[in-house]
Structure 1
């Protein structure tokens, strides 16, 4: 079990994942969760903190608190994306984004699409130093990715458990998707409503896919990538049909992918070195096939 949890990955993968996650945070604040800023203007009586908020005695959100988090988190995330001071900046970003989520989810609605992203932010400070293009394997980085992957799959698997726990088998045969298609469906969704039994079959398939999602850990890398591509396709279809976005979850799901093969930073280094008339430093690629297991 320990060997699986700490399966080493190239440091370049950690560097790429770290950059992706930390660059997404300011994008999330500005575009996808900008509505949270409005909670600072709400009456304090409407604030019903989550259990963790009560345990930590977090303050009731005010306009000052919400704006302070917003304007502090954006520059800190951009700095953290560089990989410098990864522990100090990483823990700061996690703490602020964690409070941002507490503020978001303490007014009656709790989303589950940011759970895996929160886990990623929590474990990235422990992943150690990592540089783009560095192929040296790291167990600490492997654990960070594995923890994120487990969080991604728990999001699916526990969603299915919740559906069956609160909706029972009626969730499979009821009108859940039909109601969603009618209430917020796009034109393709309304067209699909004309197909008899489509929504019922889709509900069975959704729960089945969520319950079987842990299989991604027991297949070969190539098959794993195909399954993860299926996850992305599922979320693309969800957005196209009912405009529900799981972008934070999909960012965390990139922890399954060989991100070290996408090397824009290395390309920029070489291009800049070429302009200065000198040879770019050789990238370390000492990955040991025997120890660089897929996380």
Structure 2
């Protein structure tokens, strides 16, 4: 089990995941949850903090407190996305975003799509330093990604458990999706709703998919990626029909993906025609110092390894 939890991954994957998560936090503040800032104008007696907010305890939100959290979190998240000071900036972003979420969810509604993202923010500071494109492997980074993956799958499995616990079998055969389409459905959802019994079948399929989501950990790498692709397609359909995005959950789910293969800076340099690295054969050689002996194996070649023969490049052909 410990070997599975700490399965080593390339440091480049950790760096890419870290950048993506912290950039999402910054985007979340200004795109998905800017409404949290309006909580400061709500009467204080309506603030009913979550359990963690009562245990710590945390202060009742005020306009000044919410403004400080917003601007500090936005700045620190952008700095953390660069990969510098991963522990200091990482723990700071984790603490501030947790408080941001406590303020957001302490007025009667709690979104379960934030669980994986919060876990990712809690474990990323433990992954240590990582550079984009670095292929060396790290068990600490592997543990951070694995724990995030577990949180993502727990979100699915526990969602199904909650459906059956509170709704029972009536959730499967009731009008849950029909009510969702009436409230926030799209034109595509209206077309789907016209097919007899299709919404009931979809409700059975949703619960089955959520209950069997842990199977993803038992699959080979290729099939695991295919199943994660199915997860994303499920959410694409959800967005297209009832306009629920689960954006934080989708960001955390990138912990399953080989993100080290995504090199936006390299692509940008290729797009503008700048080479990413100079080939060794094209390197400009400095003129030899006066009196220096010429290179016996040719200019620009690698030195021979200890105890081995010199490289073939630069040697004359034949015996």
Length-normalised TM-score, structure 1: 0.91
User: For 2:117, what is the secondary structure of its paired residue?
Assistant: helix
Q: Distance in 1 between matches of 2:122 and 2:260?
A: 21
Gapped regions of structure 2 (runs ≥ 5): 281-319
Structure 1 residues 43, 195: closer, same or farther in 2, change over 3 A? Answer: same
Counterpart in 1 of 2:81? 81
Q: Deviations over 1:63-101 (max 9, x none)?
A: 111111001111100100000000000000000000000
Which range is displaced more, 142-151 or 186-195?
186-195
Counterpart in 2 of 1:160? 160
Residues paired across the two proteins, number:
280
How large is the Cα RMSD of the aligned pairs? 1.9
1:133, 1:260 within 8 Å by CA — same for their partners in 2?
A: yes
Counterpart in 2 of 1:239? 239
1:136 correspondence with 2:136: yes
1:26, 1:74 within 8 Å by CA — same for their partners in 2?
A: yes
Structure 1 residues 173, 274: closer, same or farther in 2, change over 3 A? Answer: closer
Q: Distance in 2 between matches of 1:144 and 1:20?
A: 14
Counterpart in 1 of 2:71? 71
Q: Distance in 1 between matches of 2:156 and 2:33?
A: 22
User: For 2:112, what is the secondary structure of its paired residue?
Assistant: coil
By relative contact order (CA 8 Å, sep 6+), the higher-ranking structure is: 1
Q: Distance in 2 between matches of 1:88 and 1:160?
A: 37
Gapped regions of structure 1 (runs ≥ 5): 282-295
Counterpart in 1 of 2:184? 184
User: For 2:224, what is the secondary structure of its paired residue?
Assistant: helix
Structure 1 residues 50, 278: closer, same or farther in 2, change over 3 A? Answer: closer
Structure 1 residues 35, 280: closer, same or farther in 2, change over 3 A? Answer: farther
Counterpart in 1 of 2:200? 200
1:133, 1:263 within 8 Å by CA — same for their partners in 2?
A: yes
Q: Deviations over 1:156-176 (max 9, x none)?
A: 000000000000000000010
Counterpart in 1 of 2:213? 213
Q: Deviations over 1:267-288 (max 9, x none)?
A: 567899958x98499xxxxxxx
1:114 correspondence with 2:114: yes
User: For 1:84, what is the secondary structure of its paired residue?
Assistant: coil
User: For 1:39, what is the secondary structure of its paired residue?
Assistant: helix
Structure 1 residues 176, 270: closer, same or farther in 2, change over 3 A? Answer: closer
Cα offset, 1:117, TM superposition: 0.4
- The structure whose residues are more often helix, as a share, is 1
1:270, 1:280 within 8 Å by CA — same for their partners in 2?
A: no
1:40, 1:66 within 8 Å by CA — same for their partners in 2?
A: yes
Counterpart in 2 of 1:261? 261
Counterpart in 2 of 1:19? 19
Give the greater-gyration-radius structure (CA).
2
Q: Distance in 2 between matches of 1:122 and 1:13?
A: 17
Cα offset, 1:265, TM superposition: 3.2
Q: Distance in 2 between matches of 1:74 and 1:151?
A: 24
Cα offset, 1:263, TM superposition: 1.1
1:223 correspondence with 2:223: yes
Q: Deviations over 1:221-276 (max 9, x none)?
A: 1101110011111111111101111111000000000000011234567899958x
Length-normalised TM-score, structure 2: 0.85
Q: After the TM superposition, which parts of structure 1 deviate over 6 Å for at least 4 consecutive aligned residues? A: 269-273
